[in-house]
Chain A
Amino acid sequence: MSVKTIQEFASKEYAYGFQTPIEADVIARGLTEDTVRQISKRKNEADFMLKFRLKAFRHWQKMKEPEWANVEHAPIDYQDIIYYSAPKQAPKKLNSLDEVDPELRKTFEKLGIPLMEQKKLAGVAVDAIFDSVSVATSYKQKLREAGVIFCSFSEAVAEHPELVKKYMGSVVPYTDNFFATLNSAVFSDGSFVYIPKNTLCPMELSTYFRINTEGSGQFERTLIICEDNSTVSYLEGCTAPKFDSNQLHAAVVELVALDNAEIKYSTVQNWYAGDPKTGKGGIYNFVTKRGKCLGKKSKISWTQVETGSAITWKYPSCILVGDDSVGEFYSVALTSHFQQADTGTKMIHIGKNTKSTILSKGISAGQANNNYRGAVEIKKSAAGSRNFTQCDSLLIGSRCAANTFPYIDVQNASSQVEHEASTSKVSDDQLFYFQQRGISAEDAMGAIINGFCKDVFRELPGEFAVEATQLLGLKLEGSVG
């Protein structure tokens, strides 16, 4: 096993790099107050939304892009981004999924995301988001029978304004941070989930994000509300075509869990990562994800498998307000070639006897830079709280880097915080050992990576664990070095 073979592992072609030729309704590049008004108008929004957007926009103009993340990139020109791009033919309201533009349907089929309900992934309801708009949501009717609302954000604004007004911005306020504020001003669509009291959501919910138009950013918002004694499992996936220019994806996700409610949020992120040889292009994934365990004994669990994007900047977090509430964060972040990731979580303990678990696995190959950044804050009020953190890094080859930045702040004496960390390296000797037993270097790498990640994969819903395993294999193929 040579360094060269190791190198080859991480340079597999990106399979989702195609662009769909489809006519789009695009708002000209640039961002002014007028752009914000145009987006709102395009969407026929109620006045309260426009006001929210404008407040955010005015606040954003006073903000500076944060510089503390351990990543490097050329300055982003916010006036050179398309803030709204939607397929032209998208009808206002679809009576059935058969009415989805065949070109779009084909696109999602090609990505392995069937919009037809009888296809594989049966039992998973999908909201498909193409550039700035939601193009289809499957199984709506069946979910409605259970009292579950699963629709595009735009639809929620129109049909459930009382819920949107009550919860939008309650977890991630419009002033939160540069990218969240930008999102609050220009977000175009996203998914909305409402689980009423005493309801087990009858199927997995899932949103699939696809960026198609060159030069466009994607700014979506997801809001999930889980009422007392209810449970939901939600999954998001993402891909984008290959372009030489960088594209910005600045999303906001807000979760609210009330008494005894449980939200499980899983992400398999495979945005285009840029050219493997030059590092040119790729998605800047600057995302704010946060959940609030508002109710007693509520639980929010984030599981993420991050394999794509040129730069990942995200910290899915939990604010543990309710007594005995639980926050969890399970993460595999893989960076290869020129990818950079600064990712981790924040666990903020406010209620009594709150618990959090952080399990982070970072894999770095090629010349990539992988950072874990996490904060555990235990407030004075959070008596008897506990946190357990484990951060492991796996290095493949000798030109990559891994860093860990843990911040811990404990303000009472009855709480307990544990932090464990390790760094290991996949060696030529390990791969040779497998080969000597008749196992190819690729399969060996797969087995080692899987072994490293299995505690996180275990948290993913059923078949997505298989998908994640394969995805990591593909991502590393050709890259070790």
Chain B
Amino acid sequence: MLIIKDLHAGIEGKRILKGFYLTVNAGEVHAIMGPNGSGKSTLSKVLAGDSHYEVTKGEVMFQGKNLLELEPEDRALAGIFMAFQYPVEIPGVNNASFLRMAYNAKRKYLGKQEADPLEFNDLLKEKLKLVNMSDDFLNRSLNQGFSGGEKKRNEIFQMAVLDPTLAILDETDSGLDIDALREVARGVNALRRPDNAIILITHYQRLLDYVKPDFVHILSDGRIIRSGDKELALLLEEKGYDFMEASLK
């Protein structure tokens, strides 16, 4: 589904990703772990097409398309969803109408008619249950005045409504208390299917207690230094990043 080869990227002249390789197949969940500054967020922003970041080398193919040539909205329409680490507040635009715009943009891309407003409303209500939020969530301005936990749940809620092919969760677990973490994890698990894939970007092992990854990769200084299964995350938690980096040298 996703093939990344020798990706080099950075921001404002600073080199961050330095030869990143990753292959993700349908039905897989990949966890990418790494210390601060290792390039975790850069990876998600580059895949989503944030224009602040510059790709200097490498190739990213998504379902046969050259992802790096696409505008951010076209990447989203092709099926890529990023749950933001820090979702921005958008005053004056409510959650429900934002999602309707996004949902209909996707339908238009697929050559379908706009969703019937009543049916769409039912869909929203159904997906709200997944993240355990009440209906008034829909009428609030997008992320405005939301607590940290509400913002993260809203990202998962949007993911549930938009039903992406590849979801990239950028430190969705950071800043969550244990209850919120469980709910977010429940939401993510409910969306796992053989025909989609998830990349979990995280600093800590604890999310992986609830969302079981098929692969765990350790990122250090812009490169994957080790890949393994769930055990690798546990080892990492026990030994720490410094040990992992040192053991390679």
Contact = CB atoms under 8 A, between A and B. Distances in A.
A2 B84 CA distance: 19
A302 B101 CA distance: 32
A437 interface: yes
A429 interface: yes
B10 interface: no
B98 A435 contact: no
Contact of A432 (B72, B158, B162): B72
Interface string B70-99: 011101110001101001101111100110
Contacts of A447: 93, 97-98, 101
B90 A437 contact: no
Contact of A436 (B48, B106, B109): B48
Contacts of B98: 434, 437, 447
Given A429-B88, A433-B88, A451-B141, A439 B51 contact: no
Give the interface size bracket for A toward B.
20 to 34
A357 interface: no
Task: Report which residue of A1, A2, A428, A434 has the largest number of chain B beta carbons within 10 angstroms of its beta carbon.
Answer: A434
Contacts of B94: 451
B91 A438 contact: no
B214 to A, nearest CB: 25
Contact of B50 (A424, A432, A450): A432
Contact of A438 (B73, B84, B88): B73
B92 A450 contact: yes
Contacts of A33: none
Nearest to B89: A430
Given A1-B51, A447-B101, A451-B141, A437 B158 contact: yes
A437 B141 contact: no
Contacts of A439: 73, 101-102, 105
Nearest to B141: A451
Nearest to B93: A451
B92 A454 contact: yes
A29 B141 CA distance: 55
27 contacts: A1-B51, A2-B51, A428-B52, A429-B88, A430-B88, A432-B50, A433-B88, A434-B73, A434-B90, A435-B73, A436-B49, A436-B72, A436-B73, A437-B158, A438-B73, A438-B76, A438-B105, A439-B73, A439-B101, A439-B105, A440-B105, A448-B92, A451-B90, A451-B92, A451-B93, A451-B141, A452-B92
Interface of A: 1-2, 424, 427-430, 432-441, 443, 447-448, 450-452, 454
Interface of B: 48-52, 71-73, 75-77, 81-82, 84, 87-88, 90-94, 97-98, 101-102, 105-106, 109, 141, 158, 162
Given A435-B49, A436-B72, 12 more contacts: A434-B98, A434-B101, A436-B49, A436-B82, A436-B84, A437-B76, A438-B77, A440-B73, A440-B105, A447-B93, A450-B93, A451-B90
